[in-house]
Structure 1
Amino acid sequence: MKNRKKLLPLAVIAALVVLAGCASKPDNYYTLASAVPASEAAPPTRGTAAPLYIELAPVAVPERLARPQMVVGRANGSVQVDVLEQHRWAASFENELQDALASGIAARLGALDVTKGGRQSSQPVWRVAVQVRRFDAVDGGRVDAGFNWTLRRSDQPRTMACQLDVGEAVAGGIDAVAHGAQRVTAAAAAAIARSVNAARADPAATACPT
């Protein structure tokens, strides 16, 4: 008796080929964190008589951005955006942004980031709460963002409210968009660090430095 080979339907074969092609295409992961230039970094306060602590609350972002996939707008004023499955942040956008801001602020202040713990309750900490009003990226166009934040020292009643609008032109390609987003995030971290320094220098200050 001859062996009869079972043939798969063409539609099934085509589907398997497509799935194999998708599975073989690697995801691209990006981070918003970047190295702080030596000219902007402050000496660490760890081990000094007055160590500086910062604590960053979870960052509030627009719902459409609360995902690991990069969300990129289309050029020429289109209202459409693309959610890029193959281009993702290393964590969900709001978590990636929180980590990048916290590390950038801490480095610029020489502070200890105690966002995830590590501080005794008797030690005062500068608490920062950031809200992202917008974070718009267009491939081959710009990355534009708006940030609001408040800061308060845990043992003081005063709260300082600040905001920043910042933008960066970007060349074509998703790598360029990611670098533009990094620069915008670094600018926000620098502005928040300046506001902490202003509040430390003037206990009566309620306005952020420009």
Structure 2
Amino acid sequence: MKFGSLMLTLSASAMLAACASPASRFYTLGGGDARAVPSTQASFYFELAPVDVPQQVAKNQLVVQTSPAQVRVLEDERWASLPGDEVRRALSADLTQQLGAIDVYGTPHPESVPVYRVKVNVQRFESWPGSQAVLDAVWSVRAAGSDTVLTCRTVAQERVDAGYDALVDGHRKAVDALASAISAGVRSLSALPSTAAGPAASAKSKGGANAKPATAPVLPCPSASAATTASAQ
């Protein structure tokens, strides 16, 4: 009886081990090489709002494309945080490094320092294992207190090797490309004269309350991959 009980226990243990789920792996867009500290600090701040991503990928599991019309949710391959948070964190770090400015979203800051508000809406966040990582985003930059808005679209497609590490690295490079386009947009707005950055206020001060607002400048989108022309409204 004792021998039979021992064999039964060992068999049950073996079955449980065979049925046990493999350990999950977690990925982040915030890693990579250490970013150099900017040698000079910008004379402005920026605010990066929470990033919107498509609902079908707004989950911790990696969602990969198996065809243009079909996806697969990978239970054992997961993001360390939700994709929108991952993109925002990596994008904020990139913008801080490229602009030499501080992201003050949700943080008190001196009112005398100009602030550029950045909003990103990700239209596509596609993962094609062994093929490419795609980031298609519409973004805007507005100087706080200004009527001038720069609105552009950036499509970044990064070739990737096999494996999920390579896929995540492709998304990281796509975020870097998006950050470069947004940084150029912020610099374009910061280079405008103060009167151009606030046309309504300028016109009102010159012609009174009934004065017709001056026409805001139309700026080109800074990225060659942008599909629209910047609109200043």
The interval holding the TM-score normalised by the smaller chain is: 0.7 to 0.9
Alpha-carbon distance, 1:196 to partner: 0.4
1:71 paired with 2:71, answer: no
What letter corresponds to residue 24 of structure 2 in structure 1? D
| Pick aligned residue for 1:30 from 27, 34, 55 | 27
Deviations 1:7-44 (A, max 9, x none): 68x8x76763345x31xx33222221344765xx7434
Asked whether the equivalents of residues 159 and 206 of structure 1 are also in contact (C-alpha less than 8 Å), the reply is: no
Q: What code does the residue aligned with 1:27 have?
A: S
Partner of 2:98: 108
Distance 1:78 1:197, change over 3 A: closer
How many percent identity over aligned positions? 33
Which whole-Å CA distance do the structure 2 matches of 1:140 and 1:88 have between them? 18
Correspondence 1:209 to 2:222: yes
- The match for 1:192 is 182
Matched, 1:142 2:155: no
Question: What corresponds to 1:171 in structure 2?
Answer: 161
Q: What root-mean-square deviation, in Å, do the aligned CA atoms of Structure 1 and Structure 2 show?
A: 2.8
Compare 50-59 and 131-140 and name the one that shifted more: 50-59
Distance 2:92 2:163 in 1: 27
Deviations 1:121-163 (A, max 9, x none): 4543110000001011111111122110111111222111011
Residues in 2 aligned to 1:159 and 1:169: alpha-carbon distance in whole angstroms? 32
Report the CA distance between 1:120 and its aligned residue.
3.3
- TM-score, normalization: structure 2? 0.74
What SS does the corresponding residue of 1:207 show, helix, strand or coil? coil
1:157–1:78: structure 2 CA closer, same or farther, 3 Å change rule? closer
Q: Which has the higher contact order (CA 8 A, sep 6+)?
A: 1
Q: Quick one: which amino acid aligns to residue 173 of structure 2?
A: R
Do residues 161 (structure 1) and 151 (structure 2) align? yes
C-alpha separation in 2, matches of 1:36 and 1:188? 19
| Aligned partner of 1:43 among 16, 21, 39 | 39
Larger radius of gyration: 2
The residue identity in structure 2 corresponding to 1:60 is: D
AA partner of residue 47 (structure 2):
E
Structure 1 residue 184 displacement after superposition: 0.5
C-alpha contact 2:132 2:157 (8 A) present in aligned 1: yes
Runs of at least 5 residues in structure 1 that lack an aligned partner in the other structure: none
Which residue of structure 2 aligns with residue 17 of structure 1?
17
Unaligned runs of 5+ in 2: 197-216, 224-233
Quote the Cα distance in structure 2 between the aligned partners of 1:37 and 1:99. 14
Partner of 2:205: none
The change in CA–CA distance for 1:17 and 1:55 in structure 2 (over 3 A counts) is same
Greater CA drift, 93-102 or 198-207:
198-207
- Aligned residue pairs: how many? 197
